[in-house]
Structure 1
Amino acid sequence: MSTFEVTRSAVIPAPAEDIFPLVNNFHEWTKWSPWEAVDPAMERSYSGSESGIGAKYAWSGNRKAGSGTMEIVDIAEPRSIRIRLEFTKPFKAVNPTTFTFTPSASGTDVTWTMTGENKGLGKVFALFMNMDKMVGADFEKGLASLAGVVAQRKA
């Protein structure tokens, strides 16, 4: 079985306390998630807690957006958030995802990591697609957008 990890980091010039809530509440993701623009007609639903452990988000979109669910399964405020990310389309996969927030000299080092296993259709897909290149660019875009949202709130 082949496994993969995609991880990207960015220093956001703000304390973790200012950034953490934007990740810990799925309602806030519409402001910075790199996938929001993929399908403007994407259907979203929220359930469980408003934020933090038990908060759930489901989406269903076009071929590019696919469909799936996310649930916050663990938090250590304001240091880390663990999410169970499950794709149902275009192929089924569970990809544990973690955000960590580490104080740095110029703000907070935010690291976004997704892991997974390539099996079934995903294994075939992995032969042709580099997950790190494919998803990494989205993570970079998302972290840049997150920094932009934090900067706007401070202005």
Structure 2
Amino acid sequence: MKKVFLIIAIILVAFLVFGLFQASKIQNLQIIKSVTIKGSQKEVFDMVRYLNNFPKWSPFLAADPTQKYEVKGIDGTVGASYHWIGNGGEDVGHQTIMQIDTLNFIGMKCDIQKPFAAQPTFNYSFKETPNGIEVTQDFQLQSGLVDAFFMWAFGAVKEMETTNQQGLYLMKKAIEK
């Protein structure tokens, strides 16, 4: 019986060591996604700049159409923020415009309170190409080792990548319709 417990303990320790090693790689997470949209640079830029447009391309609202949201401050300016409550109060947070370089860049910071606490940033850059406007989203999240371990254990990074790309595709669809 002691051998069984010893084997289980060794397997558990190996899993934790491996998991913590993998988690250390995603403590400073960066996800870069892009999409090219047929539209004017102003139209594409304004889709991101004006937070009242976010419901048109929000992957979170697509997943939870009952989500409540509100824009506070002067929409389209530094300091404006988009507040949300979704999934019956289980998803709560807001994102605030921190920087605008007209037609080129928008920097936002999120403050997520539920279902977990996090403060990721979303930086959007806009570049005119022969095929349309290329929008690049640079998502960054710093987290502690324990939070990173749970992100690794539950596959949260892949889910974040998928969600971020979905948002860009929804933006493309909203502008090109």
Rg larger in 1 or in 2?
Answer: 2
Runs of 4+, deviation exceeding 4 Å: none
User: How well do the aligned residues superpose, as a CA RMSD in angstroms?
Assistant: 1.9
User: 2:90 & 2:52 partners in 1: Cα distance?
Assistant: 18
User: 1:124 & 1:63 partners in 2: Cα distance?
Assistant: 27
Structure 2 gaps, min length 5: 1-23
Bigger share in strand: 1
> Which amino acid in the other structure matches residue 122 of structure 1?
D
Question: Partner of 1:59 in structure 2?
Answer: 84
Q: Secondary structure at the match of 1:54?
A: coil
Q: Of residues 94, 111, 131 in structure 2, which corresponds to 1:69?
A: 94
Question: Partner of 1:124 in structure 2?
Answer: 149
Structure 1 gaps, min length 5: none
The yes-or-no answer on 1:103 pairing with 2:103 is no
Q: Is the 8 A contact 1:39 1:64 kept in 2?
A: no
> Which amino acid in the other structure matches residue 70 of structure 1?
Q
Structure 1 residue 22, shift from structure 2 partner: 0.8
Q: Is the 8 A contact 2:151 2:157 kept in 1?
A: no
Q: Secondary structure at the match of 1:50?
A: coil
> Which amino acid in the other structure matches residue 42 of structure 1?
Q
Larger mean Cα displacement after TM superposition, 120-129 or 142-151:
120-129
Structure 1 residue 142, shift from structure 2 partner: 1.4
User: 2:62 & 2:89 partners in 1: Cα distance?
Assistant: 11
The yes-or-no answer on 1:11 pairing with 2:36 is yes
User: 1:32 & 1:11 partners in 2: Cα distance?
Assistant: 15
Structure 1 residue 14, shift from structure 2 partner: 2.0
Identity of aligned residues (%): 22
Q: Is the 8 A contact 1:60 1:68 kept in 2?
A: yes
Bigger share in helix: 2
Question: Partner of 1:45 in structure 2?
Answer: 70
Q: Secondary structure at the match of 1:19?
A: helix
After TM superposition, list the pairs within 5 Å mapping 1:74-153 onto structure 2.
74-119=99-144, 122-152=147-177
TM-score in terms of structure 1 length? 0.89
Structure 1 residue 65, shift from structure 2 partner: 6.5
